[in-house]
Structures are given as structure tokens and as C-alpha cells.
Amino acid sequence: MTKEQKNKQYAPTILNRKARREYEILETMVAGIELKGSEVKSVRLGKASLNESYAIIHRGEVWLENMQISEYEHNHVEPIDPKRTRKLLLNRQEIEKLRLKLQQKGLTLIPLKAFFNSKGVLKLELGLAKGKKLHDKRESIKARDTQRQLQRLKRQY
């Protein structure tokens, strides 16, 4: 078994399932995330959650708020706050582009998923999102149901 196969075997993808339901995703981008050693081990075990998390730009840096990473049980060095603010790693041009888009009314940065890339490094997929209204959610559900019915009819014939 190669190193890449081992990384894929022990690398869960953490999804923010509410994000696509609650927000209309306009654009996505991938960012690195700055973690402490035991946090990486917890994420590899799948003990992380992106629910209720969001990203902000503060002093020219992008920060991830409210991402829950449970404490690694074999960590005896230092306790780490599970919901601490974590720095996202983006270059200056990407941050400036995001800052300009976030100044528009009603846009926010939402983490969509956390995954390990082919090198075994944790990455975070961010979405530039606009909140959906109740009628937008209903339209999304209606469109999804219609699409499912069409697929069922195609399979029958």
C-alpha cells in the first residue's frame, strides 16, 4: 500500500450539510488551515464539525470562527480549545478579492467541506454565499424533486 492510499484510507471528509440548504453558493475556493498537532489527529479521526462556522477577514487575514475540533484523547501536552479561532492560509491577492466581494450587501464566507489533499494536508473549501429566503428554499426543493422524478421516468423507459 502506497503512502497516498494510506492517506485516503484514513482521511475523512467533513461536510457542512446545512450550507447548501441555507445559502446560495456563488463562488468557491480552497484554503489551507493552520492547526496545532493534536488537532490534525482529531480531524483524521473525523472528530470535527463545520456546522455553525463561518470565516471573517480581520486585519488582512482570513479567520475561521466556530469550527468544532474535539480534543485528541491522547494529547497530554497542552489542552486546546475546541472552538478556537483558526487562521486560514490564502495569498494576499485572494484575500483582497474576497474582501471586495464581501463588501457587497448580504454576502458571507461559509466553509463547505474540510478534506485532506493528495499530500495529506488538510484543506478547507470556502464558499462565497448569499443567504436564501424561505421561498428560495422552497424553489430549490421543488426543482430537486422535479429532477428526481425525471430521472425515475428516464430509467423506466
| pLDDT tens-digit readout, 62-74 | 999 998 888 888 8
Note down the domain range covering 16.
Answer: 3-132
Distances (CA, A) of 47 to 14, 27, 117, 134: 9, 27, 18, 32
Helices (H) and strands (E) in the chain, counts: 5, 9
For residue 138, being part of any structural domain is answered with no
For residue 52, being part of any structural domain is answered with yes
pTM of the model: 0.77
User: Can you give the CATH number for the domain in which 11 is found?
Assistant: 2.40.280.10
For residue 67, being part of any structural domain is answered with yes
Mean pLDDT of 82-99: 91
Sorting pLDDT into bands at 50, 70 and 90, what band is 24? Answer: confident
Q: Tell me the Cα Rg of the chain.
A: 18
For residue 150, being part of any structural domain is answered with no
For residue 120, being part of any structural domain is answered with yes
Q: What pLDDT does 78 receive?
A: 75
> Side chain identity at 113, as an amino acid letter?
K
- Who has greater pLDDT, 46 or 5? 46
The count of structural domains within the chain is 1
State the Cα–Cα distance between residues 122 and 10, nearest whole angstrom: 12
Mean pLDDT of 121-133: 89
Q: What pLDDT does 88 receive?
A: 93
Q: What pLDDT does 124 receive?
A: 93
Residues facing residue 48 across a β-bridge: 69
For residue 148, being part of any structural domain is answered with no
Q: What is the pLDDT of residues 4-14, one digit of tens each?
A: 555 555 568 88
Residue 60 has pLDDT above 70, yes or no: yes
For residue 86, being part of any structural domain is answered with yes
Work out the widest C-alpha separation in the chain, in whole angstroms. 63
Query: DSSP for 72-111?
Result: PTT--S----TT--EEEE--HHHHHHHHHHHTSTTEEEEE
State the Cα–Cα distance between residues 63 and 95, nearest whole angstrom: 11
For residue 146, being part of any structural domain is answered with no
